[in-house]
Amino acid sequence: MYRCFGELARRGLCGALVPGCSAETLPAAASLLRHRCYSQSVDPEDDPNFFTMVEGFFDRGAALVEDKLIEDLKTRESPELKKKKVRGILRIIKPCNHVLSLNFPIKRDNGEWEVIEAYRAQHSQHRTPCKGGIRYSTDVSMDEVKALASLMTYKCAVVDVPFGGAKAGVKINPKNYSDTELEKITRRFTIELAKKGFIGPGIDVPAPDMSTGEREMSWIADTFATTMGHYGGIHGRISATGRGVFHGIENFINEAAYMSQLGMSPGFQDKTFVIQSRPLKVSILVLTLWSWKGLALD
């Protein structure tokens, strides 16, 4: 069901979510534009939080694909029972399954003790392991990790990657901590996740995110290996995000229906780009654009 939902969303949601688009101007596969008002979570008069916004957009997507999901359900049940089953499954997909809230102490370099606040959300275990980044930021909250974990599930479903969505956050400003202190925080967070079964091959696999990278992943892998006896990883992580942005741009810019909404012609020719992002993502994206397309970047 997740795979089918992701495929239908990939083909059909653009018309509902891109302002100004219509069924006539978008590709034929993107013409599912009816709404059933499953939720008013994203009413413009409201000021919803991040996770409520994600749930609201999920409801819009569910309204678009419900009829097709019922049609594709190959059972001998009556149409009414099929409808109830599909709606039940969609309700199961929507919430975040598990959220772990942690508070743990670390001893700082000056001898003081500090309690660190952290979270790990697992949105779905429909396909395991869960996967999702770990970010270090003072803006981290339970709401944020739930929302980002949910979006990770949907992103994986759209491209048929066999993972559930997860996300973690540690509520710190890494600039205020020494390398030694950051290592202590990372290793202790790993141990706390392991105690609760929130990390491990086939269970939940972390990745870099805001203010984390290869160094933090090596601390996590080493801590997990010395306490649980196993670790692993995959190649290509460094370029993954920037390369993904490039392919997203490539698919959008080569589609005449989308470009016509901007009053532009398809293709990369005669176009320049302004990019603002994390340095690593920018460098990978710039190198990819330059090496693959020879583009000018402002």
Residue 141 is encoded by which pair of tokens? Answer: 């909250």
pLDDT of residue 93: 87
Per the CB < 8 A criterion, the answer to whether 184 and 170 are in contact is: no
Q: Of 220, 217, 211, 198, whose CA–CA distance to 149 is shortest? A: 198
Compute the distance between CA of residue 159 and CA of residue 277 in angstroms, rounded to an integer. 23
Categorise residue 98: left if φ over 0, alpha if ψ from -120 to 50, beta otherwise: beta
Q: What is the mean pLDDT of residues 100-117?
A: 94
Per the CB < 8 A criterion, the answer to whether 134 and 208 are in contact is: yes
Per the CB < 8 A criterion, the answer to whether 6 and 153 are in contact is: no
Query: Is beta strand 98-107 parallel, antiparallel or unpaired with respect to 164-170?
Result: unpaired
pLDDT band at 142 (very low <50, low <70, confident <90, very high): very high
pLDDT of residue 119: 95
**Domain spans in the chain, listed from the N-terminal domain onward:** 2-93, 98-228, 246-297
In three-state secondary structure terms, 85 is helix
Per the CB < 8 A criterion, the answer to whether 162 and 126 are in contact is: no
293 tagged catalytic: no
* Marked catalytic residue, from 146, 167, 184, 281: 167
Residue/partner pairs of 249-256 with CB below 8 Å, 24 or more apart: 255/27
The CATH class given to the 98-228 domain equals: alpha beta
Instruction: Name the packing angle between helices 50-72 and 79-93 (round to 10°).
Output: 150
Compute the distance between CA of residue 4 and CA of residue 64 in angstroms, rounded to an integer. 13
Compute the distance between CA of residue 114 and CA of residue 230 in angstroms, rounded to an integer. 30
Compute the distance between CA of residue 136 and CA of residue 168 in angstroms, rounded to an integer. 9
pLDDT of residue 149: 92
Peptide bond into 129 cis (omega under 30): yes
Kindly state the percentage of the chain with pLDDT values over 70: 70
Report, at the CATH architecture level, how domain 2-93 is classified.
Answer: Orthogonal Bundle (1.10)
The answer, yes or no, to whether residue 26 has pLDDT greater than 80, is no
pLDDT tens across 213-269, in order? 888 988 998 888 888 766 555 566 566 666 777 778 888 888 888 888 888 888 877
> Position of tokens 């003072």?
138
